[in-house]
Amino acid sequence: MPKWFTPAAAICGLMFAVAPVLIANAPYESTMGLVQKIFYVHLPSAWMFLLAAIICGVASVRFLFRGDPRQDRLAWAAAELVVLFGVVTLVTGPLWARKAWGVWWQWDVRLTASLMGWMVAVAYLLLRRYGGPGSDKLAAGLALFGMANVPFVYISVNYWRTIHPTTNVVPTLPASFGLPLWFSAVTFLLLFVLLLRVRVRLEEQRARLDALYLSMDA
């Protein structure tokens, strides 16, 4: 593991300990009250979900055009994080919506596109696990669809009718709401980087083991 990993993990742990204090001290939103505090984990996990989908897509493109196995390992690691942060987003969202909107789910563009993006990542992982030889390139193609879906998820709330808040909410947040949000977002980003590094390390070790097995057979 790189030298920065352990200090970064310690900082991340510390930030995860401080974040609940900031969130608890944040004011209640006027119409939603207590349940709005789900926002501080829902939004950062949604950002990580989209970031992971972009990393998976870009790494897949580079793998398809250059055939670099390191990019393939990065794409695989990122696809797992799409599933992880996607499931966090898709579970915390409905828990918030139940109280704020009165329904668990709405088939609007943002929610549906998010679910689709998550399902693409699940399909990617299933393909890598059970697809057999050649599944790496097929899965890379699938990751492109996952990445192409990201702008739809992001801008959909501004163009289609929905009860989901628009993208204008975050830039106009008062500091009392903004500070815990950005702190939480940085914490999630740090965790994301650490998890991605560990997951890539797992693939590197697997590749090393495979190379050893092949050298044994030769």
Partner 1 sequence: MKLLAALLVLVGLCAAVTAPALEAQQPSQPQQQDEFVPIDELPPQDQLPAAPLLVAAYSFVVLALFAYVLSVARRLGGVQRELERFEAELKRSGRT
Shortest spacing between CB 95 and partner 1, in angstroms:
4
In angstroms, rounded to a whole number, what is the distance separating the alpha carbons of residues 1 and 4? 8
Report which of 86, 198, 77, 76 is spatially closest to residue 137, judged by C-alpha positions.
76
Using CB under 8 A, pick the residue from 30, 31, 132, 216 that binds partner 1. 216
Shortest spacing between CB 43 and partner 1, in angstroms:
12
110 binds partner 1 (CB under 8 A): no
In angstroms, rounded to a whole number, what is the distance separating the alpha carbons of residues 133 and 135? 6
- Tell me the per-residue interface mask from 30 to 69 with partner 1, x by CB under 8 A, - otherwise: ---xxx-xx--xx--x------------------------
Contacts of 148 (CB under 8 A, 6+ apart): 57
Cβ nearer to partner 1, comparing 33 with 67: 33
Shortest spacing between CB 66 and partner 1, in angstroms:
26
Beta bridge partners of 116: none
Using CB under 8 A, pick the residue from 95, 103, 148, 169 that binds partner 1. 95
On whether the CB atoms of residues 79 and 56 are closer than 8 A, the answer is: yes
CA distances in angstroms from 14 to 152, 190, 195, 196, listed in the order given: 35, 11, 16, 19
In angstroms, rounded to a whole number, what is the distance separating the alpha carbons of residues 207 and 70? 10
Q: Which stretch binds partner 1 (CB under 8 A): 52-60, 65-73, 173-181, 203-211?
A: 203-211
Residues near partner 1 (CB under 8 A) = 33-35, 37-38, 41-42, 45, 80, 84, 87-88, 91-92, 95-96, 98-99, 191, 195, 198-199, 201-202, 205-206, 208-209, 212-213, 215-216
